Amino acid sequence: TFPHTPTWKKEDVTYRILNYTPDMLQADVEEAIARAFQLWSSVTPLRFTRVYNGQADIMISFASGFHNDFYSFDGPGGTLAHAYAPGSGIGGDAHFDEDENWTKFTTYSGYNLFLVAAHELGHSLGLSHSNVFGALMYPTYMPVDTRDYQLHQDDIDGIQALYGPPKESSALPTKAFPPQEPTEMIPAEAPTETSPREEPTETTPSKPPQRPDDCDPHLTFDAITTLRGETLFFKDRYVWRKSPYFSEIEHDTIFSFWPSLIAGFDAAYEVDNKDRVLFFKDDQYWAVSGYSIESGFPRPIQNLGFPTSVRKIDAAAHDQNTKRTYFFVGNKYWSFNENTQSMERGYPRKIAADFQGISHPVNAALQKNGYFYIFHGSNQYEVDIKKKKLIRIMKSNSWFDC
Amino acid sequence: FPVAPEKEKEDLQFAKKYLESFYDFKEEKTLFRAKDLNQMSDKIREMQSFFGLEVTGELNHKTLDIMKQPRCGVPDVRSYS
């Protein structure tokens, strides 16, 4: 909390939206802010009412650069918004930097207004920053899936330390606006018209499967790839991120990195000297560079040289030294020459012929430090790439320090 | 996905401004350069501790990386008024 723990000494708090950003429809701005207030009203006795003129407790506005307080904004990026602790006058007010691109959904071309507003309103209610990674009151912006966004326990503990839990009857949404669930999803970059599967299939927020525990002995993966020195493990819509910079595993969703990609990959691999990762799902594949999806994708996997009889691939891994990518399909595997962009002659070959002791189908494959790691069920096989010799068998989730 | 920054001086300036904005760093020019650097190093330590980074007091890659992330304009330390 702030010095002297300032709070609102009443349960009915008013807010007013003074102006709008041209980045979003007015209705979307209002909805994002109403949803942000509802996050806090659902865990406290507080009730938020919107007023349309005069002085409200919390005045909300968009401004660029200097805007009549001591904290000028700094153009695109950097500081996105700020807010003042409860109090009269400027107290409680929230300011948003108009030089940012405000968006309704979590994309990588802008900042989700709901997420930033929810954070700033935490300040407007008396919360300072939290150093708990993943908490809403953590100081840095974290693009996460907002469809069924929940407050972190740290945020709930903080705000209830100031106002207590909700009274049974008042745990209802804000008076002024009933919250709206997002009814459509706008991908960060519209997919091309060529493929019949442009629309993501997860358009209605049904209950997603829970993310398995890191150390679940039965944990298997859909796909695994390296990406700029990190290793990403995919299962359904979840991502386990292992970074050389941070010791603990970070949990994300595919949506939070690539909102327009459909969850549930079949395979993925990185061609690191091109800073490019390819994702495979059914008979299509996408190429991404960092967060952005290369234009012209998705493309049919037949473009890579697979016969039409191949409708999906199981796993893929790229060997940096030979510039060959191995695609595993059923009991066979293909070798793709990344330099010539063509499948090698003499393939497919039987996995059993060249990779003794490895069961199929292969769930996922990873290349790291000169070894292939081939995953089947809850086992992973460490293979010397040059000799194609099985070195050892480990548990699939051995990367998570279980 | 971090990409390594290049220009040291520019980074130092950026870090100073960051620490002034969010960690109540006040650059008081004293006669002793070493003392200046000490004060800044203290603030870097404070910021590293807040973000759970290894506390070294040095403006290393990871520390700079977090400083460059888009963020809220409210300071992280209590001196906010």
Model ipTM?
0.84
How far apart are the C-alpha atoms of A388 and A391, rounded to whole Å?
A: 9
With H, G, I as helix, E, B as strand and everything else as coil, classify residue A129.
Answer: coil
Whether residue A71 is predicted with pLDDT greater than 50 in this model: the reply is yes
Q: What is the pLDDT of residue A356?
A: 86
Whether residue A177 is predicted with pLDDT greater than 80 in this model: the reply is no
Amino acid A209 reads: P
The answer for residues whose C-beta is within 8 angstroms of residue B38's C-beta and 6 or more apart is none
Contacts across the A-B interface (CB distance below 8 Å): 73
Residues in chain A within 8 Å Cβ distance of B3: 228
Contact B2 A78 (CB under 8 A): no
Average pLDDT over residues A248-269: 85
At A272, the pLDDT band (50, 70, 90 cuts) reads confident
Residues in chain B within 8 Å Cβ distance of A3: 78-81
Cβ-nearest to A140 among B3, B71, B74: B71
**Bridge partners, A333 (sequence order):** A328, A349
Whether residue A249 is predicted with pLDDT greater than 70 in this model: the reply is yes
Query: Average pLDDT of chain B?
Result: 82
Percent residues over pLDDT 90 in chain A: 58
Whether residue A152 is predicted with pLDDT greater than 70 in this model: the reply is yes
Query: What DSSP string describes A150-192?
Result: ---HHHHHHHHHHH-SPPGGG-S--SS-----------SSPPP
Residue of A nearest to B54 (CA): A246
How far apart are the C-alpha atoms of A150 and A136, rounded to whole Å?
A: 9
Q: For the segment A325-347, what is each residue's pLDDT rounded down to a tens digit?
A: 999 999 999 999 999 999 999 99
Whether residue A284 is predicted with pLDDT greater than 70 in this model: the reply is yes
Distance from first CA to last CA of chain A, Å, rounded?
A: 36
Cβ-nearest to B72 among A82, A131, A230: A82
Average pLDDT over residues A168-176: 44
- Which is higher by pLDDT, A282 or B39? A282
Average pLDDT over residues A271-293: 88
Residues in chain A within 8 Å Cβ distance of B51: 131
Sign of torsion over alpha carbons A283, A289, A295, A296: negative
Look at residues A293, A282, A230 and name the one whose alpha carbon lies nearest to residue A258.
A293
Whether residue A175 is predicted with pLDDT greater than 50 in this model: the reply is no
Q: What is the pLDDT of residue A183?
A: 33
Contact A140 B70 (CB under 8 A): yes
> In 10 A of CB A37, how many CB atoms?
28
| Token representation of residue A221 | 């993966």
Residues in chain B within 8 Å Cβ distance of A101: none
At B30, the pLDDT band (50, 70, 90 cuts) reads low
Question: How far is A137 from chain B, CA to nearest CA, in Å?
Answer: 9
Contact B80 A133 (CB under 8 A): no
Whether residue A230 is predicted with pLDDT greater than 80 in this model: the reply is yes
Query: Average pLDDT of chain A?
Result: 86
Average pLDDT over residues A111-133: 95
Chain-centre distance of CA A313, in angstroms? 24
With H, G, I as helix, E, B as strand and everything else as coil, classify residue A196.
Answer: coil
Percent residues over pLDDT 70 in chain A: 89
Contact A129 B72 (CB under 8 A): yes
Q: For the segment A179-227, what is each residue's pLDDT rounded down to a tens digit?
A: 333 333 333 333 333 334 444 443 444 455 678 899 888 889 999 999 8
Look at residues A123, A97, A94 and name the one whose alpha carbon lies nearest to residue A110.
A97
Cβ-nearest to B1 among A85, A123, A228: A228
- Which is higher by pLDDT, A369 or A61? A61
Q: What is the pLDDT of residue A174?
A: 38
| Token representation of residue A185 | 């999803």
What is the gyration radius of the CA atoms in chain A, in angstroms?
25
Active site members of A: 120
Question: How far is B79 from chain A, CA to nearest CA, in Å?
Answer: 8
